[in-house]
Amino acid sequence: MWGASLSGLEVKKPRACILGVSGTELSNWEKGFLREADPFGFILFARNIENRNQVRALTNALRETVGNTNVPILVDQEGGRVMRLKPPHWRSIAPAGVFGDLFDRNPDDAREAAYTSARLMAMDLREAGFNTTCAPVLDLRLPGMSDVIGDRSYGAEVAKVVMLASAVAAGLLDGGIAPIIKHIPGHGRATVDSHKDLPIVTVSHETLSEFDFAPFAHMKDVLAAMSAHLLFTAIDDQRPGTVSGTVIQDIIRGEIGFENLLISDDLSMEALGGSIASRTHECLRAGCDIALHCNGKRTEMEEVVSMAPLLTGKSLQRAQSFTNQIATFKHDAPSSTQITDWQARLADLLAPVWSAGDDQK
């Protein structure tokens, strides 16, 4: 079924990786390398984004390079301190924790605000040429843990996180942006920043199942998820989740029941050891479908591509389902009246807990 299209032509099989680029436009080397590598998708960061016209030109160039209008182009746009598209060129988006605070006052208002905020954010992303964002965050905000998650989380209660994250996912999808839930199976108990070191989680499997894993089980039908670089000693005391076959097969695929596209968190983060090539090999061998590499460094990108095969089997099916979702998105933009109404309504809803002028910490 997946090996050929209805016309009998071979389905194009991209490589099992998502890559970054180094600057605000593609170098000649990048154009040639990316055309040859044909990664599943791309991810952009603040270093790649200056203004509306520039980022639109860059996302268009990425599509042209691989000859695929529906190639996933990702960005970390959550709101709060994790925003790659920032004022003054783009709107300010409240962090997840603000919606959690509003939820404590009025759950219905919080859910509406979360949806409306995501819908407006999706509009900005679409205009810039993105079709995917690495959000919402389903990690719990637990006391005493590293602030690497902090107000990126909707809160400490599973029901609250699920309700608000579901509203955000719906708003993104309605706005033509594919969500990627993160960080499966749960990053909330990290005591250190996984960008800099390996967090070790020592609570029991039972506790993890009741709390940390639960939001992901509730939202397992979202078509993509990003892994967590955490060592869960009760599950696998030797290997972080991203490179642990036990975590991926027994917990993510088994207990949680997530059967869709699994993307590694950034392989250049310091939580993982070994070379970039070995990290790529290990995450794919453990069961990630896609290896994510973000920093745009040439030598590291070459290592990733050397170890990432073309997508096949279930991974290809999952990848095609995700790309097919992107292909179904409508391209018509909301009217100016609709946008004005959404902005006014969102400001009213958030007024008790946040305003666009608040400092983003």
Residue 160 tokens read as 């609250």
Residue 87 tokens read as 């004022």
Query: Distance between CA 207 and CA 41 in Å, rounded?
Result: 35
What positions carry a catalytic annotation?
195, 265
Q: Could you tell me how far CA 275 lies from the centroid of its own chain?
A: 23
DSSP string covering 15-76, please? EEEEE--SSSS--HHHHHHHHHH-EEEEEE-GGG--SHHHHHHHHHHHHHHHT-TT--EEE-
Which residue is listed with tokens 């400001």?
347
Q: Could you tell me how far CA 190 lies from the centroid of its own chain?
A: 18
Residue 153 tokens read as 């989380």
Query: Distance between CA 137 and CA 311 in Å, rounded?
Result: 26
Q: What is the DSSP letter of 241?
A: G
Cα 266 to Cα 98, 134, 276, 295, distances in angstroms: 26, 12, 10, 9
